[in-house]
């Protein structure tokens, strides 16, 4: 993904002369005499805060991400996610240049989770937003915001009612970006990774 940007920008300079979740559902039961109290966090609306890292298969780079949102307690959740991936490389052909690429996507996401057991569940979802693609070539720089969409799915394991871990895959797509007068249209990628989430 970012390698495509680097090569496209380098070519342009040569011609002109100049790169997700689940909710906790652990049931805790405490008994004293004949009184029993049951608590299921997954069935109670609550806030969620988490983060993780994905490996982008095409770009061969890490994508660090974090999210914050609200779980409605019925399997559905809405959250905002942002992240960063970047690369710095030196191209030799068609022109010698040091190129630094930073990509920051921001998306609003919907996630639905189905729980197989009290601890293990499956999630699926998608999101829409925008990404800031920033490229610096030596002392020159250019950036643009482009439409972004993603779809994701995976497994979540509830360690406790307030803490969980998840692993899955995502497909992320970005619209064409025009930098230094060059149109780049190959920014989609597949990420595989995991993370942690707190429920409160």
Map out the domains of the chain with their CATH numbers: 2-26+41-199 (2.40.160.20)
The DSSP call for residue 41 is G
- Per-position DSSP letters for 154-193, written without gaps between them: EEEEESSSSEEEEEEEEEEEE--EEETTEEE----EEEEE
Q: For residue range 4-57, what is the model confidence (pLDDT) as tens digits?
A: 555 555 555 554 444 444 444 444 444 444 333 334 556 799 999 999 999 999
Look at residue 88 in the predicted model and tell me its pLDDT.
81
Put simply, whether the predicted model's pTM sits higher than 0.75 gets the answer yes
Tell which residue, 16, 19, 22, has the closest CA to residue 4.
19
What does the alpha-carbon distance between residue 20 and residue 12 come to, in Å, rounded to a whole number?
Answer: 35
Per-residue pLDDT band at 87 (split at 50, 70, 90): confident
Which pLDDT does position 185 carry in this prediction?
Answer: 76
Q: How far is CA 22 from CA 108, 132, 137, in A?
A: 16, 27, 40
pLDDT, position 11:
53
Distance CA 130, CA 133 (A): 10
């Amino acid at each position: 993904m970012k390698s495509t940007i680097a090569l496209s920008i380098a070519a342009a300079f040569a011609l002109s002369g100049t790169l997700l979740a689940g909710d906790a559902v652990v049931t805790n039961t405490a008994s004293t005499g004949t009184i029993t109290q049951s608590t299921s966090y997954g069935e109670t609306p609550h806030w969620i805060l988490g983060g993780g890292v994905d490996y982008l298969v095409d770009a061969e780079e890490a994508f660090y991400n974090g999210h914050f949102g609200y779980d409605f307690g019925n399997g559905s959740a809405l959250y905002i996610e942002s992240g960063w991936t970047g690369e710095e490389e030196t191209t030799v052909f068609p022109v010698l240049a040091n190129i630094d690429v930073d990509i920051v996507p921001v998306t609003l996401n919907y996630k639905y989770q189905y729980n197989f057991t009290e601890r293990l569940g499956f999630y699926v979802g998608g999101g829409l937003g925008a990404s800031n693609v920033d490229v610096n070539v030596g002392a020159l720089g250019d950036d643009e915001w482009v439409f972004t969409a993603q779809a994701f799915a995976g497994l979540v394991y509830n360690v406790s009612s307030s803490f969980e871990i998840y692993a899955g895959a995502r497909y992320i797509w970005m619209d064409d970006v025009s930098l230094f007068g060059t149109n780049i249209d190959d920014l989609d990628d597949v990420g595989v990774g995991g993370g942690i989430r707190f429920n409160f």
